[in-house]
Amino acid sequence: MNKKRIIAIVLVLTIITSALVALSGCNTKTYNDTIKYVIEDNGEITIVEYTDKTYITEVDIPDEIDGIPVTKIADFGVVNAESIRLIKIGKNVREIGDWAFTNNQNLDAFEVSPENEHFVSVEGVLFTKDMKKILFYPCGKGSELSKKMEVLQYASYVIPEGVEVIGEHCFWECYYVENLTLPSTLKVIEEKAFYAMSALKGITLPEGLEVIEKDAFTNCNNETFSSIVIPSTIKEIGDFAFYNCGNIKNITINRDESEIAFGNKWYPTNEGRKIKELVITCNGQKYDVK
């Protein structure tokens, strides 16, 4: 799946979401002239859309609106907002969609109410309250760009120990993160977690990692990202996990091929095409790219 197709899918999903909101008729309302929401059948509020305005740098998802608790931020609830630097999340939010905060390139931080029982922000990064899952990394955190959009400083980030899951789209299109350290406690990398991290120089996968889901590393094609070692604990590698990672020429898997569930075209490709120089070994035995 190439980048143009991914963008097209995102646009289609956005259109569908907007259509569903439109069909809800008078149930759709606006808060602070920027946030659209619906009142669900259970009497709670879901945030469904945000309208970006250049003079606004903070988005505040409130505890409640007109006395009604805000409990959910839907897919595409706050996306494509170039001006946002900070997203605040109220105490009653208990559900956040996997696409809720994608493509906010200048976002520096999340801030979560200390009374929220489901989510927490640590150094501006969004986690589940138990700190076992990292949900969203704000793509502007730690990097610096000039007015001409030249990179003055790339970002590095260390995911805290105790985290077991890297959530869907967590680092989606975080173009300016070049170094990422994973915790020894990590078990699952979810779908598109590192999609299009084009500055990522490479990564060390820890022993204990069991699952790499579909498109996890798609378009991570930095020229220095040339090899990767997959630990002996791996059980599953999903479809297109390393799609268009054309500079990865060597993969060492420390487990027998028969013990791993491989997805369709999971290995590095150039826009889906096989890489002649690619060498993959499973416990020292050559893996034949099909």
Least confident span in 2-11, 30-39, 207-216: 2-11
pLDDT above 90 covers what percent of the chain?
Answer: 87
Please compute the mean of the pLDDT values over residues 144-166 and round it to a whole number.
94
Domain boundaries of the chain, sorted by first residue: 1-141, 158-290
> Coil, helix or strand for 26?
helix
Confidence of residue 286 (pLDDT cuts 50, 70, 90): very high
Residue with tokens 């029982």: 117
**Is the model's pLDDT at 5 over the cut of 90?**
no
Q: Cβ distance 30 to 52 under 8 Å?
A: no
Indicate if the pLDDT at residue 101 is higher than 60: yes
Higher pLDDT, 25 or 42: 42
Would 1-141 and 158-290 be classified into the same CATH topology?
yes
Percent of the chain with pLDDT over 70: 91
β-strands 144-145, 279-282: how paired?
unpaired
DSSP string, 190-208: -TTTTTT-TT-----PPTT
> How many secondary structure helices (H) and strands (E) does the chain include?
1, 25
Q: Are 87 and 78 in contact (CB under 8 A)?
A: yes
What would the CATH number be for the domain defined by 1-141?
3.80.10
Look at residue 133 in the predicted model and tell me its pLDDT.
98
What average pLDDT score do residues 201-210 get? 98
Kindly report, residue by residue over 110-130, the tens digit of the pLDDT: 999 999 999 999 999 999 999
Q: What is the pLDDT of residue 23?
A: 44
What's the fold here for domain 158-290? 3.80.10
pLDDT at position 247: 97
| Segment 169-187 mean pLDDT | 97
Q: What is the pLDDT of residue 22?
A: 47
pLDDT in tens, 14-34: 555 555 544 444 588 999 999
Q: What is the mean pLDDT of the chain?
A: 93
The confidence score (pLDDT) of residue 21 equals 46
Residue 7 pLDDT more than 90? Answer: no
Write the CB contacts of 210 (distance below 8 Å, at least 6 apart in sequence): 187, 188, 233, 234, 235, 236
